[in-house]
Each structure stands twice: as structure tokens, then as C-alpha cells.
Amino acid sequence: MEQVKLYDTTLRDGMQGEGMSLSAAEKARVVTALDGLGVQMIEAGFPSSNPKEEELFASLADLELERAVVCAFGMTRRRGVEAAEDPALLTVTGSFAPVVTLVGKTWGLHLEKVTKVSREENLAMIAESVAFCRERGKRVVYDAEHFFDSYREDPGYALSCLEAAIDAGAENVTLCDTNGASLPNQVGAATEVVATRFGDRAEIGIHAHDDAGCGVANSLAAVDAGARMVQGTVNGYGERCGNANLTSVLPALQLKMGFDVVPEGKLETLTETVHFIDELCNLTPDPNAPYVGRNAFAHKGGMHVAGIEVDARTFEHVEPAAIGNERAILPSELSGKATIRDQARAAGLEIDDETASRAIEVLKEREHHGFHYEAAPASFELLLRHEAGVYKPLFTLESYRVVTQRRAGGEVETEATVKVLVDGERYVEIAEGNGPVSALDQALRKAIAGRHPHLNEIELTNYKVRILDQDRGTGAVTRVLLDSADGDGREWGTTGVSGNVIEASWQALVDSLEYAFQ
């Protein structure tokens, strides 16, 4: 099998995304995680654009990596300066990183309108900068900025920039779709010309962006046309619409196109690895992400589930386990008994056919009243536990009361009172909150935490409200979805439905705590 390399630029281009920031220590953890996945090349940034980068390169120099090489990023020399005297080139070649990636201008429009450098001088800047890095013992990747825009206007000049880099010793020339303007057929056609012309002298790389929603497809089109290295970022992080998403590129190359990308056994760690990196970046994993999203292999009952039981190929494009993901069967009134039993099993419950039938009836009844368990699997599990007779009540509610008032001075205050029985004992507690749900939550936890202190570790992470029967305005039925998390990184979703938003919220809140207690 032919090899294709992954070149990850999460730590440089990925960090250009809105709100992205990682400490040097966190970046080092990303490098270790990517190495563990089998990524071949990791661009860490510019060795000393600031003290944080300096610290990063210092720590990376000591890291023992299985497979990945670290790449330092820089630019071709400045106009009118000798390469050997360009401070940035001295810095980038002075780092421990064995590979230097140099970005350089490739598009006439940029030379004329932005940098005001002649086409000839630009070729000299490319050639001399690459040659200098080679003299200093570095392997060199040349990133041809705006390559495809340039190629559409003046293919001759675009190719001469690559040639200058290759002649000077670059082992790889990477074709960059810097503005994300290109579509796959354009990328494929241009890459084919490059591969035919230079394929025997240098490796061809592709660096795509997702501005047209084609970042992954552009990368694959380039590989089809002869590229053997793909630059991109984990989960498609990056400025504007992001870079080519390596999380999607990798399984396509390996499972669908038959290339050898990561070593055996590594692809199966993909989901875990990219979710870990999401977590480091403080991002919620996209539930609909290709291959690794929690919905990527989610099926609604009926024919899909029946089909998958016979042959998974009927409704799945790849085996979820191949990328470390899992099949999910969504609860819905369309579900059959087998589906319900599977779901129960996934929750550690063995239920018989009769219980499954009863659960389906309850589910239908609830869905008719506006419940919707797809986004609230924890509430659904509680429903199953009820029907299976293994539900443990956390407390018994006597009453609650919530008061929100805006005083004459303008301050808004909320307080909640709850009266509950826990293990036969009566607790009456009051608490304030910045809204009725948080006040109820506080009061309820005060009441039961004496008996169940671990419930204090639960955090409410998301809260959504929808009106179901829109024609009735605020008189309609309200559905609340609540997400919770505990200190161990577990997350669960619960729901409540009522004509009253407070009561619906209460139900979702109680389910959240009860779920944690089961």
C-alpha cells in the first residue's frame, strides 16, 4: 500500500480559529496525542515569535516521540536581505526541529498589490531561503501560498515558484489553497500537472481550507492526483471556516482509498484522540462530525435498526469501531422491542419482551405529550428503569415554590423553597439563584446533599427551552432539555415537559440528579 503522510498544523493554523488558545504545556500534550495517533509531521509554530513559543519548542525538544517529526514554521527571507542574515530564518533554523516549513509568495497579484516584490526577486527569495535551511541541515517543506489562485491566472509562474524551491533542495512542495477558493476538480487538475512535472523530484503536499465547504474533498482530490502529504488540523480548527479537517481526511484515505497512513491499531483511537483535543481546547465535540460525532452512527428505530442487525453495510458507510466510535440507536416511538432491549442492555439493564412492550407504550404516550428523548438519553434510561422495576427514588417531593421579583430599584432576585423527604426524613430548604432553575437546583441540593454529598459535584452545563404547540403562545406546552456533567467527565441529558416552564425545568433537574444517583 502506498503511503500518504499527515502534516498537522493544529498548533499553528488551528490556533487562528476564533477563541482558540492553548498553553505551551497543553500544546505539548497535543503533540503527544497526535504522535500516539500515528501522525507523521507536526507543525508546532514559529520557534520564537513569542516567549510562549520559545517555551513550547524547548519542551518539545525533550519529548520522546514514537513516530512524528516536529516542524518549525517560517517565511522566505525578506526582500533585500541575505538569507544568512535574516533574523527570522536564523531563528527557525536554530531550533531543534529537523524540518523547516517555509511559506512563500506564489501569486502575482500578491507580489504586485501586497508585498511589491518583483516576480524574479520572489523566485530568488524562495531559492535562497530554501538553500539556506538546507545548508543548516534542515529538511525543507515549501508551502506555496495561494498556489491555486496563482495557477488559475498564470500557471507558468506558479510552477516556477515550485521549481525554485525544488531546485534549492526542498523535499516537499505543498500547494496551498490559502483563501479556500478552490473546488475539488480545480485542485485535482492543478495537482496532476504538478505531480507529472515534479513528482519524481519532490513529494507533493496539499494545504486546503474549508471556505467552500470542500476542505476535505480538496485534500482527497489532490491525493487522487498524486499528492502524498495532507496538511490540515484536528477537527478542522482554523480561521474563517477552518482548515482541512484531518479527522475526516484520515479515515477516508485509509478506509475508503486504501492508503497506508497511520500504523495498524491507531485509527481505532481516532475518536478518543480528537475528543481529547477538543476538550483541551475547551470545545464541545461536534455531535454531527463525520466519523467521530456521537450522531455519526445514530439510527432511528424501524427499518434501519432491522437492516443493521442483518448486515451493518445496509446503513453504515464504515464500521464505527474502525475509528473508535460506536453505533447509537435513538429512542423514538418508531422503535421496536428489539431496539428498546438493546438500549436497555447498553444501560446495563436486561429487560424482557413484556417490559420492552410496556416501555414502548409509555414512550409513545410521553412523546404524544411532547417528550422527546433523543437529546435526553438519561431521562429515557430512567423511564426504562421505572418499567424494569429497578428505579431507585432519590427523594420524595412535598412541594416547591420559586419567587422571582424585580424590585423598585431595578434589582432582580430569585429564591426557591423546597420541601422534600429523603430516606423518610423531611427537609425544608431555601436558596437563591440567578434564575428560577438555578435557585431550585440550589435548594434541592441543599435538601438532599446531606445524605448524598456526591451530587454536589454535578454541574448544569446547558439548558434549552422550546414551546411545542406554537399556536397557543405561552399557553402552550414547554419542553426543557438540560445537560449535566460530573467531575469525572461524564455528561448526560435530561428533559421535562409541562404547560409551565418552571415545572418542566424541575422535571429535567430532578431527572439529572436521579440519573446520577442510580
Question: According to CB under 8 A, which residues from 3 to 42 bind a copy of itself?
Answer: 16-19, 21, 23, 25-26
Q: What DSSP assignment string belongs to 175-222?
A: EE-TT----HHHHHHHHHHHHHHHTTTSEEEEE-B-TTS-HHHHHHHH
As a whole number of angstroms, the distance between CA 421 and CA 283 comes to 39
Q: Cell 475547551 identifies what position?
A: 282
Q: Is 424 in the site for a copy of itself (CB under 8 A)?
A: no
As a whole number of angstroms, the distance between CA 510 and CA 385 comes to 15
Query: Among residues 198 and 400, whose Cβ is nearest to a copy of itself?
Result: 400
Q: Is 196 in the site for a copy of itself (CB under 8 A)?
A: no
Query: Among residues 169 and 236, whose Cβ is nearest to a copy of itself?
Result: 236
Taking CB under 8 A as the criterion, the residue among 310, 389, 424, 489 binding a copy of itself is 310
Q: Is 256 in the site for a copy of itself (CB under 8 A)?
A: yes
Q: Is 407 in the site for a copy of itself (CB under 8 A)?
A: yes
**Strand 172-176 relative to strand 139-144: parallel, antiparallel, unpaired?**
parallel
Residue burial 309-332, b: 16+ Cβ < 10 Å; e: rest = eeeeeeebebebeebbbebbbbbb
- Which residues, 202 to 221, sit near a copy of itself by CB under 8 A? 210-214, 216-218, 220-221
Q: Is 437 in the site for a copy of itself (CB under 8 A)?
A: yes
Taking CB under 8 A as the criterion, the residue among 498, 510, 513, 515 binding a copy of itself is 498
Measured CA distances, 362 to 263, 330, 392 (Å): 48, 16, 19
Q: Is 252 in the site for a copy of itself (CB under 8 A)?
A: yes
Cα 499 versus chain centre, distance: 36
As a whole number of angstroms, the distance between CA 450 and CA 330 comes to 36
* Number of Cα atoms under 13 Å in the Cβ half of residue 243: 25
As a whole number of angstroms, the distance between CA 452 and CA 180 comes to 54
The site map against a copy of itself for 279-298 (x = CB under 8 A) is: ---x-x--xxxxx-x-xxxx
Q: Are 483 and 505 in contact (CB under 8 A)?
A: no
Contact region for a copy of itself (CB under 8 A) — 121-129, 343-351, 378-386, 396-404? 396-404
Query: Among residues 67 and 152, whose Cβ is nearest to a copy of itself?
Result: 152
Q: Is 499 in the site for a copy of itself (CB under 8 A)?
A: yes
Angle between helices 51-61 and 24-37 (to 10 degrees): 40
Query: Among residues 241 and 449, whose Cβ is nearest to a copy of itself?
Result: 241
Q: Is 463 in the site for a copy of itself (CB under 8 A)?
A: yes
Q: What DSSP assignment string belongs to 21-84?
A: ---HHHHHHHHHHHHHHT-SEEEEE-TTSSHHHHHHHHHHHT---SS-EEEEEEEPPPTTS-GG
Q: Is 431 in the site for a copy of itself (CB under 8 A)?
A: no
Q: Is 51 in the site for a copy of itself (CB under 8 A)?
A: no
Contact region for a copy of itself (CB under 8 A) — 78-86, 156-164, 266-274, 368-376? 368-376
Contact region for a copy of itself (CB under 8 A) — 199-207, 316-324, 339-347, 382-390? 316-324
Q: Is 469 in the site for a copy of itself (CB under 8 A)?
A: yes
The site map against a copy of itself for 346-365 (x = CB under 8 A) is: --------------------
In what helix (H) or strand (E) does residue 424 lie, and over which residues does it extend?
none
SS3 of residue 384 by DSSP: helix
To the nearest whole angstrom, how small is the minimum distance from the Cβ of residue 238 to a copy of itself? 8
- Which residues, 54 to 113, sit near a copy of itself by CB under 8 A? 109-110, 113
Taking CB under 8 A as the criterion, the residue among 69, 338, 375, 421 binding a copy of itself is 375
